[in-house]
Structure 1
């Protein structure tokens, strides 16, 4: 599938300043890719060889002029060669009960978590085809199993996984599209939620059959693999990275 060596290939990574995002940047860099990193935040402290572009994904969905401007920025950075890998990693996790979630919360969830990955994929499809490229969507275990107050987040992730499977029917063989569905990942954000709750964190770890939660690097390494020629026959797959928790019942026994 991939005919160019990785050192001549560009990876576009959204949500690059988050825990998984930073791991993605590091792992794709280690694999020899050149990186265009995006995030809604502009607290940029990445290495100088990373090309950072601030990006508001919700605005990209709503404002076509803004979206086109972003495309031309990326095209200029890649000197017209275009990207060969798109990693749709950025997401918002708005927690609210079905009874009280607002229209704004619902629409923001869908704009960032689902519509932005779709329109970015559409926007760069010609570049990806020219480079025999790959799209990797970072979905979630919530695509299939979720819990209270996750109705918006879980619905967007279920749709993102479905989009991954369905998009390949239109795209065909020139671009591979796959998704990763991680369970709990030990990002700084996750750990911050358990400060002073060490026993609960240990219970979370032990609930996973592997006895621990995942690491951002494990998700990132899987994304690099899915973008490589070694995964040349992997198409339209939604791969669980759950440490086995996907097969567990939440049973008081």
Structure 2
């Protein structure tokens, strides 16, 4: 049985990823900062990605734990992310650093740690980016920058690793999750407008991301390497008139 590791597994996209991979025959390890009995993974591991990225002692401790907990791995999905809204006037360095640690450094370090297992299993890395890597809006400085860098990391790893492990990214536009709702402060009329301006006339659902991740993990996508697949309902083609 193939093994998949999904970070941020308790979020909307993470839950859909875990459910889809399990339904397609994978054993799923899920990492999340929270702990609960209500999850879609085969095994939930409570883990602080921010501390792993910033605390040497914590990282050393978890590297040893990972060898025991996850000796075999075929797919690493770097899905965990934080979205702290900020404009340049009020941007706090601590929040910028926190965003980069979770959204960028964490995926790098986990990719580095699990490289041998992934190479041995002819595996792949899938980074969950965002439309904000290309198109953004006010007060998303830290988040947009981190996702832009994550796509750059995806390409750089693909070139660096050559044929050892495939590395790709998915950049979704609006996906109906708690993170999206928080970004709109629960403004339902704004969400309705967001649905209307997508050419497909809806915003995405977490399962849209999960289906694309499954495709990237499959042997059918063996020639896709260093790619960033846009999943946006056509919104990146829209020029909206005022």
Q: TM-score normalised by the shorter chain: which range applies?
A: over 0.9
Per the alignment, residue 21 of structure 1 pairs with 14
When residues 195 and 98 of structure 1 are mapped into structure 2, their CA distance, relative to the original with a 3 A threshold, is closer
Aligned partner of 2:212 in structure 1 is: 222
Cα RMSD after superposing both structures: 1.7
TM-superposed deviation, 1:187: 1.6
**Which of the residues 65, 71, 83 maps onto 2:57?**
65
The Cα shift of 1:240 comes to: 0.2
Distance 2:37 2:113 in 1: 25
- Say if 2:199 and 2:235, in contact at 8 Å, map to a contact too: yes
For residue 75 of structure 2, the aligned residue among 82, 85, 100 is: 85
The 1:132/1:237 distance shift into structure 2, 3 A limit, reads same
Mapping of residues 1-12 of structure 1, within 5 Å = 8-12=1-5
Aligned counterparts, 1:122-161, within 5 A: 122-161=112-151
Q: TM-score, normalised by structure 2?
A: 0.94
Distance 1:17 1:62 in 2: 22
Q: 2:32 aligns with which of 39, 53, 58?
A: 39
C-alpha contact (below 8 Å) 2:130/2:170 kept by paired residues? yes
- Cα drift, residue 168 of structure 1: 1.1
- 1:211 pairs, out of 196, 201, 204, with 201
Give the match's secondary structure for 1:108. helix
Cα distance change on mapping 1:195 and 1:134 into 2, 3 Å = same
**Of 12, 28, 47, which residue of structure 2 is paired with 1:55?**
47
Distance 1:63 1:194 in 2: 33
Note if contact 1:51-1:77 (Cα within 8 Å) is conserved in structure 2: no
What secondary structure, in the 3-state scheme, does the structure 1 residue paired with 2:25 have?
coil
Q: Which sections of structure 2, spanning at least 5 residues, go unmatched? A: none
Give the drift of 1:33. Answer: 0.6
Q: Normalising by the residue count of structure 1, what TM-score does the alignment of the two structures yield?
A: 0.90
Count of residue pairs brought into register by the alignment: 242
Q: Runs of 5+ in structure 1 lacking a partner?
A: 1-7
Offset of 1:194 from its aligned partner?
A: 6.1
